[in-house]
Each structure stands twice: as structure tokens, then as C-alpha cells.
Chain A
Amino acid sequence: MKARVHIMLKNGVLDPQGEAVRHALGTLGFDGVNGVRQGKVIELDLAEGTTEASVKDMCEKLLANTVIESYTIELT
């Protein structure tokens, strides 16, 4: 089984990289991009039967820094 973890900066946390991407899109002529937030996706290849609670524990302990990041888990 696989899990996909999406990690994003929480709302209100400034994202200088997203802001740089937004600026670059504007320079390329893409109008109307009001904001860009950059996050990451982590794919986990897991032993059958691994619980969502266990993946949540992984997020809390290592994958995300919950001071500034939020995460969502997708089991597939």
C-alpha cells in the first residue's frame, strides 16, 4: 500500500519561495496570479496493514514541522 502526504505551510506563514515563483510567473506574462504557495509531497511505500494513525504519527514526529506546516494524508 502507499500513502501520499501533502505538506503545506500553514496560512499566515510567509512563503518567500512561493512569492518568488509568483513574481517569476508575472515576469513571464502570466497575469492574474494572485498568490503562490509551495509545499511538498512525500510518497510512502508501506507494508500492508499500516494504519493511517501510524502515518499521522510519522507526520507529527518527522515529516512535518507542525509549528509552521500542516499536512494531509491520502492512502491509496
Chain B
Amino acid sequence: MKAAVIVFPGSNCDRDLAEGFRQAGFEVSMVWHKDTDLPKGMDVIGIPGGFSFGDYLRCGAIAAQSPICRAVVDYAHKGGHVLGFCNGFQVLCETGLLPGVLMRNAGLKFVCRQQTLRVETADSPFTNAYSKGNEIMVPIAHHDGNFSADADLLSRLRGEDRVAFSYVGNPNGSTGDIAGILSENRRVLGMMPHPERASEPAHGGTDGQGVFKSLTEVLALA
């Protein structure tokens, strides 16, 4: 199984994300933002957390226009698996692969803490190792994690079972307590929390491992 992790100037969770993939048995390639092509034969692409391009203009906006992101969008349109955590979620929203926008936290402060999440669906390549309703503890660390969706989008996400994770105790004002969502084909996941920071015992918890394990199960069947 092969994973690629995209690296932008200002990414700071790229190596953590790569380690999360490796722990689950993936061989990982790091891919620089100026590259125009993804390595051949990738099973999943990861967009890491951090502050790509210093969060200039809008979080994720400049990264979303980088050469490699065009390749990531093509890959996703062909049915490839893509996940983005934190800044990666912001980048995926800016590319249009996921709907909605991440705005400044309602409390205006950077929030950095352990956060309880509820698994809202086990029907996805990123959540099948969990059960619906599971509560997991995963770190959050963001300033712009306030997921904003209008009433139409919220009802569409819920109606299509595309809310992957929700917050138990909303830390940032997100619409409908949403922490992470899936694309229409369920193969793109974006979430503000950091499962890669809860993926080995030394992290103080391993509740995030399920995201990577879920992928390995789906890929093993493919």
C-alpha cells in the first residue's frame, strides 16, 4: 500500500502524517508542492496540517492553486482516496473537492487541546474501523476551524450521511458541530482534528489510528 504526503512551505504535520500512514503499513512518498505529477500507483494522498504559505490571503487558498494540487484534484476526480487534516481540510475546501468553508473560530482564539469526537458514520474508507456513535479522543489545534455551511449544505451533508465526525462540545462554532466531512463519492475526507497525533501509544492515545486502519481494510479488499 502506498501513500503520498504533500508538503507545502509552512506544512508542519507532514512528517506526523507520514508516520501515521507508516504505522498502518503504508510506504510513504513525500511530494513537494511544485511537482506537477503524483508518483505512480498511489493508494491515498494526504494533505497535512500546518500553515501552508503562512495562511496568507485565506487559509489553504494559495496551496489549493499550487501545481501539485491540480494533480490531486485530478486524482480525486478519477476516484482516488484523499484525506486532509487541519490545514489539509482547509486546502481541500479551497480546491472545491469538499464543500463549505473554514472560518475564524467563533471565540477568535487559537484552540489547542484534546477533543472528544463522535463517529457519525462507519460507512466510508476512513471510518469503517470505527462504529457509528463511537466517541474518540483526538487533538485539535487551529485558529480557523469554524466549519460554515448554509442550511442547504448542512441538510445535504446529513441526508447523504457525509458527516464523518462531529465534536462533542463544539470548540469553534462549527455549523452542526461538524468536525469532518466526506465528498459525494465518500473517497475524500477533510477534518480539523488531528488523528495522526493520536496514532501511537507515545502520543498518549491511539484513537486516531482507526482512520488509517480503515483505509488498509478497504485497500486490502480492492
A 59-76 to B, binary, CB cutoff 8 A, 1 in contact else 0: 001110101100000000
Secondary structure of the B side of the interface?
Answer: loop
B14 at the interface (CB under 8 A from A): no
Interface string of B84-111 (1 = CB under 8 A from A): 0000000000100001110111111000
B101 contacts A62, C-beta separation under 8 Å: no
Indicate if A17 sits at the interface (CB-CB under 8 A).
yes
Residues of A within 8 A of B106 (CB): 14, 16
Whether, in the assembled complex, A20 has its beta carbon less than 8 Å from a beta carbon of chain B, the answer is: yes
- The answer to whether residues A16 and B61 also contact, given A65-B94, A67-B100, A68-B148 and a CB cut-off of 8 A, is no
Pair A65/B101 contact, Cβ less than 8 Å:
yes
Binding site for A on B (CB under 8 A): 57-58, 61-62, 65, 94, 99-101, 103-108, 146, 148, 173
Q: Which residues of A contact B (CB under 8 A)?
A: 13-14, 16-17, 20, 61-63, 65, 67-68
Contact of A61 among B65, B101, B173 (CB under 8 A): B65
Q: CB-CB < 8 A to B108: which residues of A?
A: 16-17, 20
Q: Cβ of A65: which chain B residues have Cβ within 8 Å of it? A: 58, 61, 94, 101
Using Cβ atoms and an 8 Å threshold, which residues of chain B touch A63? 57
On chain A, the residues within 8 Å of B101 by CB distance are: 65, 67-68
Q: Which residues of B have CB within 8 Å of A20?
A: 108
Contact of A13 among B58, B105, B148, B173 (CB under 8 A): B148
In Å, the complex CA distance between A10 and B105 comes to 18
> Which residues in A have their C-beta under 8 angstroms from that of B148?
13-14, 68
Most buried by A among B57, B65, B105: B57
In the assembly, what is the distance between CA of A6 and CA of B99, in Å? 24
With contact pairs A13-B148, A16-B173, A67-B100 given, residues A62 and B105 touching in the complex (Cβ less than 8 Å): no
A62-B61 CB under 8 A given contacts A16-B105, A17-B108, A68-B148: yes
8 nearest A-B pairs in the assembled complex, by CB-CB distance: A68-B101, A67-B101, A16-B104, A16-B106, A20-B108, A16-B108, A65-B58, A62-B65
Asked if A68 meets B57 with Cβ closer than 8 Å, knowing A61-B65, A62-B65, the reply is no
Q: List the B side residues contacting A67 at CB < 8 Å.
A: 99-101
Residues of A within 8 A of B173 (CB): 14, 16
Known: A16-B107, A68-B103. 20 other contacts (CB 8 A): A13-B103, A13-B148, A14-B103, A16-B103, A16-B104, A16-B105, A16-B108, A16-B146, A17-B104, A17-B108, A62-B61, A62-B62, A63-B57, A65-B58, A65-B61, A65-B94, A65-B101, A67-B100, A68-B101, A68-B148
What is the minimal beta-carbon distance from B9 to any residue of chain A, in angstroms?
A: 17
